[in-house]
């Protein structure tokens, strides 16, 4: 079970930044796609890239502190299981999307941009699910 300690406080603090950064990155990607001005689109795209990379870096802290809190339980039971069913895909998606953005710095075609935005929307949904079930762990529901 989860132990109330400094780790739970660190985990709580380290989870909010990746969540916010993923959601904001998705918004920037959507604005970049909708933008009529190429310069503005590049600026939104750059901001989205910075945010997903920072979110990915922050997610390592969240995962590390979570594993310490649960004493290494990768799945768990009940609400912890539900939380982890969202956490692990979210972690993989955030890391993969950030890596993709760093490795490929070229301008994307509209099709590739749409695919990436779809993946960002999926990531936002999965991250939100992880946050929801994490909150349920705190309230004991």
- The string of pLDDT tens digits covering residues 42-94 is 899 899 999 999 999 999 988 888 888 888 777 778 888 898 899 999 999 99
Q: Is 48 a domain residue?
A: yes
Q: How far apart are CA 128 and CA 125, in angstroms?
A: 5
Q: Given this model, what pLDDT does residue 2 score?
A: 47
Give residue 108's domain range.
6-136
C-alpha dihedral over 124, 126, 127, 129, to 10 degrees?
Answer: 120
Count of other CB atoms within 10 angstroms of residue 51: 23
**Which two three-digit tokens encode residue 88?**
């692990």
Question: In this prediction, what percent of the chain has a pLDDT beyond 90?
Answer: 43
Phi, psi of 76 (to 5 degrees): 85, -165
> What mean pLDDT, rounded, does the chain reach?
86
Q: Are 26 and 123 in contact (CB under 8 A)?
A: yes
Q: Is 1 a domain residue?
A: no
Q: Is 70 a domain residue?
A: yes
Q: Is 141 a domain residue?
A: no
Question: In this prediction, what percent of the chain has a pLDDT beyond 70?
Answer: 94
Give me the number of domains the chain comprises.
1
């Amino acid at each position: 079970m989860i132990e109330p300690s400094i780790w739970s406080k660190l985990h709580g603090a380290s989870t909010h930044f990746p969540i916010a950064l993923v959601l904001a990155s998705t918004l920037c990607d959507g604005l970049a796609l909708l933008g009529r001005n190429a310069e503005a689109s590049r600026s939104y795209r750059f901001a989205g890239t910075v945010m997903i990379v920072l979110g990915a870096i922050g997610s390592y802290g969240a995962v590390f502190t979570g594993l310490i809190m649960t004493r290494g339980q990768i799945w768990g039971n009940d609400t912890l299981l539900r939380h982890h069913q969202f956490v692990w895909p979210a972690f993989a998606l955030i890391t993969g999307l950030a890596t993709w953005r760093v490795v490929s710095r070229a301008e994307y075609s509209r099709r590739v941009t749409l695919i990436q935005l779809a993946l960002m929307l999926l990531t936002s949904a999965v991250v939100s699910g992880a946050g929801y079930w994490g909150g349920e762990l705190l309230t004991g529901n």
